[in-house]
Structure 1
Amino acid sequence: MATLTTSSECSQCSKTKAQCTCRGCQGSFCTKHFNEHRQQLSVRFDQEIGEAHDELVQQIDKLTRQNKIHDDIFSEIDRWETRMIKKIQQVAEKVRRQIIELVSQGTETLNDELKALTKDIRRCRQEDDFVEEDIENLRQKIYELQSSFEKTTVSNDIEVIERKDPIKWNLLPSIPLNVKWALKGCTIAGGHGRGDALNQLNAPFSVYIDDKQSIYIADCENHRIVEWKPNSTVGEVVAGGNGSGNRANQLCCPTDVIVDKEANSLIICDRGNRRIMRWSCQRGTCGETIISNIDCSRLSMDNRRSLYVSDWKKNEVRRFDDGGTEGTIVARGSGPSDRLSQPTCIFVDQDHSVFVSDYDNHRVLKWIKDSHEGIIIAGGNREGNDLTQLSHPQGLFVDQFGRIYVSDQRNHRVMRWCDSAKQGEVIVDANNTGDSLCQLNRPIGLSFDQYGNLYVVDGGNDRVIRFNMQPN
């Protein structure tokens, strides 16, 4: 701090009796003013170093406390609740229950799945009769369980956002950037020839996968919707199945089905009867018509529960809000570059952009919300089997990176188009049409489960086939 000096003026009082020099500022001081200078430095040290250090310690200590996430989010919800009216207070309470329920259900499900997996592994080892396929199946189950665990624990980055949209807790498919799928699929439903038995399908069109891995299939020529639970060998009729007809307990050539989780019901595209029906998931024997006189082809629902329907005769897509029956046109086109011709499958992303498979124009178009013009994002180079072409596209899915997955029906393949790409890539079946588990025959619908496994409605083979996502 200080060194003795011989004879110099004090920088404070200018008297020639300075005895000390500060090593920092190089100032000379008499004894009195040197002590004052040192006291000033001590105060500055406490203010600039000590207080900042103490604040940093408190912040890090707060960060390392257990249950910080839950405390912070509930505190934020409490503050939010006091600023809002009674209706928002009710929503806040609902959010608390959903968080607790979500964590509880996730842990319970993981434990149940782990017990079942452990049982299967022990059985295989005890019986000592396993083959390569058994090992692959167990390996896939371990991978799926690991994925579920990571989704439950991966992120502590939680915040409460105030917005008008209803809060959703969805198990959305998460598809990594460099993912690949197994070359050989496995039959999940059907595959026993065309027929109306419970282990058969007849011209299936679409597949919907719920959070419990059950799949719902629009079994078109059997005029029914069937549910296949995980690992089932037969399906269960959950709507229709009473022959072709227009009564409330009948369907006629249904081409699509989705699940409305909030209403616990199925929404069905009853194409042959030109109507959209709602059918209770509680095994209701009859449905109710919610939209009539529409030449419907496919359905989709956004995160606000608005319903989207493609009309293959009017060549347009309409959105129906809050039980409306007229709808608003959200995709149609006004010129050769974006005019639709027999639109089939629809996908609506989180930004409410609408993607449409333009069947007879051999392309996929995108309508950004409130836009009056569509953009070609896949195909559009006439019909063909080149990587820049499509042939009567059907099933459609868009992942979190904006990559488009499409069933290229007449080319008997599934393609993926990256955002702004000039050409696509084949991800399933580059071996022409066929009925082996490595081939497809006129694929129609497609979807992904929460683990990123790909499900394809293999229409020409009357089956639904799954291609497992491969671990990196």
Structure 2
Amino acid sequence: MFSSRSRHSNYHQTNRSYYGIILLLAELGRSSHLPPITLAIIILNVLIYFDIFPLFDLSSDLQSVCVSTYTVLDQGDYMRILLAPFFHGDDMHLYYNMASFLYKGQQLETLFGSQYFALLLTMLTLLSSLMLVLLGQLASSLLDNPEYLFTCAVGFSAVIFALKVIATHYTPAYGSNTFLGFIPISAKYIVWVELVVIQLITPNVSFLGHLAGILVGLLKNPSIHEIDFEASASSFCLISAPLRSAIIHSHARWIPTGVTVAGGYGRGGSNNQLWGAHGLYVDKNKNVYIADFANSRIIEWKHGSKIGQVVAGESVGTVVAGGNGKGSRLDQLNSPRFLFVDRDYSVYVGDRDNQLVMKCPKSAKSDILVTGGQGLGSDPIQTACVNGIVVDQLGTLYVAEEGHHRVTRWVKEATESIVIAGGIGIGEQANQLTIPCGLSFDKDGNIYVIDYGNYRVQRFDID
């Protein structure tokens, strides 16, 4: 957000330039996935920048639309709360905001769906402006400095900061584990580092505006997101499944193009739809059972059917690993999400936030690190947000990685993985995955993957 701290300053948009617009068009041209709401918001911001809407006739005088504590609480100009985020100081201000928004929109609109993403943006836009007004009042009172009442800001960056917080929360691999490519830092803290660094590099940006966006993002209000994904997942994240009978050769390969065997008709509660599927099981007849947690049901898809049938299901859990507090030691876990039990009754646990898979042999006194443990990343020795695991009869481990939208294979005692599905970017093509979540095999060795972000289950046939 651009800001001004003067009560009477003329806060004009600088001479229009096209360089930032050209850069933005290049970004759009390179993107293979342009969700409709994300694209519409970008177009709206560009049209407003070029003053296409004569009704407002305000873009040349940003002082008429910028939002501050004074303009809202003292002058009662409440329209600024909605208008200010869509106006920008110059073409580069517009470019940086929209390029950043494009990437976040691709992640979150795909995850939440267009309808709920539009609602999310509406709420974030209003709440970010309101938060800026409240922060201005608070800063003025605590620091005894009335200038904060007149900190007047425009731009979409408060909303973008809020989206970054949300994206890091729901898709942790969205963030990086390094800052500027070489400074190690947890992804969840990068937004705070960016807040400070951006202020140091560009002093005329609105610190309070960016801080307002972060605080709104941290609210994590279920009424904003409509669905509390973590709470729902605790009820329907796993269907316990016996090991499939197929013995898969260690050099086996799978056809990279998947076949939709369940869902694929968008998000919803009809029997041909899925909403937030988190676990699956394939029986000997290739019928697929899915934990459809947002619909609070277990649904069965008969082999070859285009519609599912709701069935009853329940699970009972027993602590077999961890129990020593959250942490990264071998006797601790940090957000375990999926597990698998092999024929020897060893329990494999996907430890999401520690980026690893642990093996807990029956009656053993200590656990065994099977994969990962090298931090968040895309190298063959790393995993990124374990979101589903399965083990075959040879002890080969298969991991659904939410962070890189792929399925990897770890041969027993191997130190590196092989990508067998996805891993070519987020998308809805047959050879792409968007937040894979849950794995299973059929008796022929074909692998089934819940494609969470595309509301479908993909089958990758063994080659």
Higher RCO, Cα 8 Å, sep 6+: 2
Say which structure is richer in strand.
1
TM-score between both structures, scaled by the size of structure 2: 0.45
Say which structure is richer in helix.
2
TM-score between both structures, scaled by the size of structure 1: 0.45
